[in-house]
Structure 1
Amino acid sequence: MMQKIILCSCVLPLFILGSCAERTTIKDIERFKYYLDKGSVKIGDQMKEMDLVIVEPIEMQQDYISAAQQQGTLVYGYINAMEGDKWNKELYHQFKEDDFYKDENGTKMYFEQWDSYMMDMTSVHYQKVLLEEIENQVVQKGLDGVFLDTVGNINSFLQPDEQRSQNEAMREFMKKIKAEYDDLSIGQNWGFDTLMDYTTPYVDFIMWEDFSYREVAHDEWALEKMERLQKLRKQYGIQVLAIGFKDEAKSKKLSQKYGFKYLHNENGSYYNEW
């Protein structure tokens, strides 16, 4: 049986006062969901059945968040850390020119698939704006944690001589989050080297997208990362949430071998269907 911790009404946000709730601890989660669209009555009911749910706080209705938390579900709010999404106009319009990453030719990095730009975490102004977004979308809405997406962009898209400064800035950004909101849990998406060398003290879980058997089972790089993440989990309690896109049975079995939590998502890296 999963262990629970009791959070009484005195420490819960005002909108869910009235009773104590049993909350799942990070290390004991079994059922989780990653969903970035609006809720419905049916989805709201299913959120209550999860141990942990990552939502887009701009989209997900507050009533469903609060109701799920009352049933013990941990709810994390999605924040895009290393990309500026043009769809999020209110946030995007706050960025200054120096907040965008630019290569040696002064060219911005644009991701056509997501209609977003790579951001520069070393920008003091960008960190300030992102912290305010966490305050508005995560803290003020009473969520349990923040999920920082695209952390892995640092190692995936930048040249080696640029990665260190961005990784150090990411570490300092997480440090600021903890300084402002000590009880706010942090999850990050990808960025395995970032986690291992920089952000370990601040992160409660890391997500591994496309943890699909045919992609990782026989890949030396992936196998080495699995071993190191397994050690981090045992040493520091950092959990790994693995999401597979293919080979569900084999992918799940492999994830369980390393003590990772597994979710199958046949739609790939799109999370607009529950």
Structure 2
Amino acid sequence: MIDACNTTESVKKIDVEPFAASYERISSLEKVASKYDLLIVEPDNYSKAAVDTLNTPDNTLLGYISLGEVNKFRWYYPLMEEQGFIGINENWDSPYLNLADSTTRSILLDKVLPNIMTKGYDGLFLDTIDNVAPYTERSHLQPYMLEIIAGIKERYPKAVVVQNAGLFMLDRTHKYIDAVLIEDVATNYNFKRKDYHLRSTESYREKVDRIIKLKQEYDLPFLIVDFAKTYSLKKLARNRLDTLGMPYFISTIELNDISKGISSKQQ
């Protein structure tokens, strides 16, 4: 394993506002990209030529990568399936990866990662880190998750890396990342009922207080993605988020319609 105590070059100061995340195949790619300082996209949707037109000196373009599970439509799903899974995320029908398996980790670092970065992305958006959270049956995999994150920075030291959630690991991962993204701050999505709702005042304040504390402790940019579908809920979310002074983006749970998303500083 990579020694988590090893230091890397200092994190970059990047422009993160306005930002957006979109997993659809954006048709007017160049036009959309020019609107955002930071844009997170689904890398499998674009060729290297498309990335070249999307990536400009004025923006930061990040490719999505899932570290804790794999969608069944991924090109590398059969490779992961051969190694065996350890359960499934029923919300997305995505099997959990056995990160304790060295071959599984190698597929991520030596196959999936280069497949994204050789297209010309500025960096990566690291998802599903919460799959090894302390409250899960996979918490024992945290050292391997850390090894992967450290391995990403070791292989691509100049890449911009944004960590999604996984706050329980921030004391170990902060030296390898450039920003943190948090979902479900002002609102929340219920997968069983398939509906969106505003968080209770108490729950909202608890989340915000934790974010502020960690932001001060690690001196990293924090980005917020909230989920809402109706105009009224989007407005309520904006009223909350506008008071925080942090970059945010509001969209549907699928993040599949950037044209209807709302980004701070772009309203």
Q: Shorter chain as normaliser: what TM range?
A: 0.7 to 0.9
Deviations 1:202-244 (A, max 9, x none): 122222222234226421xx53443333233234332222112
Deviations 1:238-265 (A, max 9, x none): 2222112233334234334444211111
Q: Which runs of 5+ in 2 are unaligned?
A: 1-11, 188-197, 259-267
Equivalent residue, structure 2, for 1:119 = 97
Amino acid corresponding to residue 234 of structure 1 in structure 2: Q
Q: Report how far residue 82 of structure 1 moved.
A: 0.7
Give the 4+ runs in structure 1 shifted more than 4 A.
96-99
Deviations 1:34-65 (A, max 9, x none): 1112231x233111121111111111343442
Equivalent residue, structure 1, for 2:48 = 62
Q: Report how far residue 97 of structure 1 moved.
A: 4.9
Equivalent residue, structure 2, for 1:273 = 257
| TM-score, normalization by structure 1 | 0.75
Point out the structure with the larger helix share: 1
Moved more, 200-209 or 132-141: 132-141
Equivalent residue, structure 2, for 1:51 = 37
Equivalent residue, structure 2, for 1:13 = none
Equivalent residue, structure 2, for 1:81 = 67
- Between the two structures, name the one with larger relative contact order (CA 8 Å, sep ≥ 6): 2
RMSD of aligned residue pairs (Cα, Å): 2.4
Amino acid corresponding to residue 122 of structure 2 in structure 1: D
2:79 to 68, 91, 94: 94
Equivalent residue, structure 1, for 2:145 = 170
Contact preservation (8 Å) 1:210, 1:244: yes
Q: Where does 1:201-240 land on structure 2 (aligned, <5 Å)?
A: 201-213=175-187, 214-215=198-199, 217-219=201-203, 223-240=205-222
Whole-angstrom distance in 2 between the partners of 1:141 and 1:216: 42
- Cα 1:25–1:124 change in 2 (3 A) is same
Q: Report how far residue 183 of structure 1 moved.
A: 0.9
Contact preservation (8 Å) 1:151, 1:191: yes
Question: Equivalent residue of 2:162, what SS?
Answer: strand
Whole-angstrom distance in 1 between the partners of 2:200 and 2:68: 25
Whole-angstrom distance in 2 between the partners of 1:50 and 1:64: 17
Equivalent residue, structure 1, for 2:163 = 188
Contact preservation (8 Å) 1:37, 1:56: yes
**Percent of aligned positions with the same letter in both sequences?**
26
Contact preservation (8 Å) 1:31, 1:52: yes
Whole-angstrom distance in 2 between the partners of 1:203 and 1:181: 11
For this pair of structures, how many residues does the alignment match?
Answer: 233
- Cα 1:216–1:207 change in 2 (3 A) is farther
Amino acid corresponding to residue 42 of structure 2 in structure 1: E
Question: Equivalent residue of 1:85, what SS?
Answer: coil
- Cα 1:194–1:67 change in 2 (3 A) is same
Contact preservation (8 Å) 1:35, 1:271: yes
Equivalent residue, structure 1, for 2:88 = 110
Whole-angstrom distance in 1 between the partners of 2:65 and 2:43: 9
Whole-angstrom distance in 2 between the partners of 1:255 and 1:121: 35
1:34 to 21, 27, 32: 21
Whole-angstrom distance in 1 between the partners of 2:124 and 2:71: 17
Contact preservation (8 Å) 1:155, 1:191: yes
Moved more, 204-213 or 49-58: 204-213
- Cα 1:43–1:181 change in 2 (3 A) is closer
Moved more, 247-256 or 186-195: 247-256
Equivalent residue, structure 2, for 1:199 = 173
